[in-house]
């Protein structure tokens, strides 16, 4: 039921810490009682309350209580104090016999938006879910904005549910709810606002109950694990045994370190066997035979046979050749006598034997 307090609102002041108050009947589970305040002198300062939101809440309360909205509005308008300023200042000139539609027309003229439907629809498309806002609260905010768009002619009434569902799927950040309810598959046959809101609230209650159950379960599991660990330590552990084991481990580590260091000191790398010294070749042995410095054609010295212009002299050439061979043989025999632990080399005019 709708309870209107016209005077000082003492009841609201006393119940402010408890509002909104929710109660569920134990006998009738489908019956929910919700007590909340609308726009009063205690809930908003003068000039702050939005009459459009106030009228929307009155319509919802009238529909839930089963009463006629016009009757409720007529009763409210009979007492100007039920409206806040400046709405009360606007309707003061109307008489008590004025029909409710005239009151609404005057309020719309003073406080309703003057934007056209296209601008309001663009604002509606930019309405996104705020941080920490529930999906059901976001849907109600979308419904209020889209209602204003329809009133200004931006969207037709038959397309109301379609645009509401489309914008909700676009602006809601809770993808788990969208996938769980398969909302994107309902674009062809979108649900009404009441059905949509009921689906969201049911899913939110289910998730809240599951999270609460998970927290209780995890908390109890941690407590049991903590108690079990304490009992295990108290029953199965012996401090003296642990200390003795630590000492034994330290002794073993010291022995292993000593063995490793001793093994390192005794280990010497095996050197490769020395290579036998390679005898250096004697400088005299490699001395080549003295080259003759005479012409093989004329026997004269100072030029070669290739550029010789003198007449050939075979006898002089033979004499020079015999002299050169005898000098080379004497030099080779002298060199081989000075070599030790070697073979005997004999120099001839054709080489060494």
The region that residue 304 occupies, defined by phi over 0 for left and psi between -120 and 50 for alpha, beta otherwise, is beta
pLDDT value, residue 4? 47
Residue where a domain terminates, one of 65, 83, 111: 111
**Pair (53, 122) in one structural domain:** no
Distance from C-alpha of 50 to C-alpha of 111, rounded to nearest angstrom: 8
pLDDT, tens digit, 9 for 90 and up, residues 201-215? 999 889 888 888 888
pLDDT at 335 over 50: no
- The answer to whether residues 191 and 200 touch, using CB atoms and an 8 Å cutoff, is no
Distance from C-alpha of 140 to C-alpha of 168, rounded to nearest angstrom: 10
Residue 235 lies in a domain: no
**Pair (95, 149) in one structural domain:** no
**Pair (77, 130) in one structural domain:** no
pLDDT, tens digit, 9 for 90 and up, residues 80-127? 445 666 767 777 777 767 777 787 778 777 776 667 788 889 999 999
**Pair (95, 142) in one structural domain:** no
Beta strands in the chain (DSSP E): 21-24, 32-35
Which whole number is the average pLDDT over 22-29?
Answer: 68
Residue where a domain terminates, one of 60, 80, 111: 111
Mean pLDDT over all residues of the chain?
A: 72
Question: How many domains, in total, are found in the chain?
Answer: 3
pLDDT value, residue 353? 36
**Pair (14, 107) in one structural domain:** yes
- pTM, entire model: 0.41
pLDDT at 194 over 60: yes
Check residues 292 and 218 and name the one with the higher pLDDT: 218
**Pair (124, 62) in one structural domain:** no
**Pair (16, 106) in one structural domain:** yes
**Pair (75, 166) in one structural domain:** no
3-state secondary structure 229-273: HHHHHHHHCCHHHHHHHHHHHHHHHHHHHHHHHHHHHHCCCCCCC
Q: Print the domain residue range for 195.
A: 117-204
**Pair (32, 101) in one structural domain:** yes
Residue where a domain terminates, one of 204, 233, 251: 204
**Pair (88, 140) in one structural domain:** no
For tokens 């000098």, name the residue. Answer: 327
**Pair (145, 91) in one structural domain:** no
> Six-digit token pair at 20?
């909104």
DSSP string, 41-104: TTTS-TTTS-HHHHHHHHHHHHHHHT--HHHHHHHHHTSGGGS-TTHHHHHTTS-TT--HHHHH
Check residues 4 and 152 and name the one with the higher pLDDT: 152
**Pair (176, 161) in one structural domain:** yes
Q: Which residues lie closer than 8 Å to 292 by C-beta, 6 or more apart?
A: 320, 321, 324
């Amino acid at each position: 039921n709708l309870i209107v307090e016209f005077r000082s609102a003492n009841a609201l002041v006393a119940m402010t810490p408890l509002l909104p108050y929710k109660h569920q009947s134990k006998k009738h589970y489908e019956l929910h009682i919700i007590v909340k305040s609308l726009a009063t002198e205690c809930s908003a300062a003068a000039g702050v309350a939005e009459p459009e939101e106030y009228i929307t809440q009155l319509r919802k309360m009238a529909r839930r209580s089963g009463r006629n909205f016009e009757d409720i509005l007529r009763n409210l308008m009979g007492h100007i104090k039920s409206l806040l300023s400046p709405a009360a200042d606007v309707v003061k000139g109307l008489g008590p016999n004025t029909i409710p539609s005239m009151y609404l027309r005057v309020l719309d003229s003073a406080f309703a938006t003057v934007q056209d439907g296209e601008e309001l629809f663009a604002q509606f498309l930019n309405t996104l879910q705020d941080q920490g806002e529930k999906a059901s609260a976001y849907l109600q905010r979308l419904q209020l904005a889209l209602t204003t768009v329809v009133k200004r002619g931006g969207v037709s009434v038959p397309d109301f549910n379609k645009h509401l569902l489309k914008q909700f799927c676009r602006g809601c950040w809770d993808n788990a709810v969208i996938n769980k309810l398969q909302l994107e598959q309902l674009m062809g046959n979108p649900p009404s606002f009441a059905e949509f809101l009921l689906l969201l609230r049911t899913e939110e209650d289910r998730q809240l109950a599951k999270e609460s159950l998970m927290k209780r379960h995890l908390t109890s599991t941690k407590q049991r694990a903590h108690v079990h660990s304490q009992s295990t330590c108290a029953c199965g552990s012996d401090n003296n045994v642990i200390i003795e084991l630590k000492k034994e481990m330290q002794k073993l580590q010291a022995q292993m370190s000593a063995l490793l260091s001793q093994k390192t000191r005794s280990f010497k790398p095996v050197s490769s066997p020395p290579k036998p010294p390679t005898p250096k070749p004697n400088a005299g042995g490699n001395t080549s035979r003295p080259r003759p410095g005479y012409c093989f054609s004329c026997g004269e010295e100072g030029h070669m046979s290739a550029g010789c212009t003198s007449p050939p002299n075979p006898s002089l050439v033979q004499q020079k050749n015999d002299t050169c061979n005898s000098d080379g043989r004497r030099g080779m025999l002298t060199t081989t006598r000075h070599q030790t632990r070697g073979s005997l080399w004999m120099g001839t005019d054709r080489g060494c034997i």
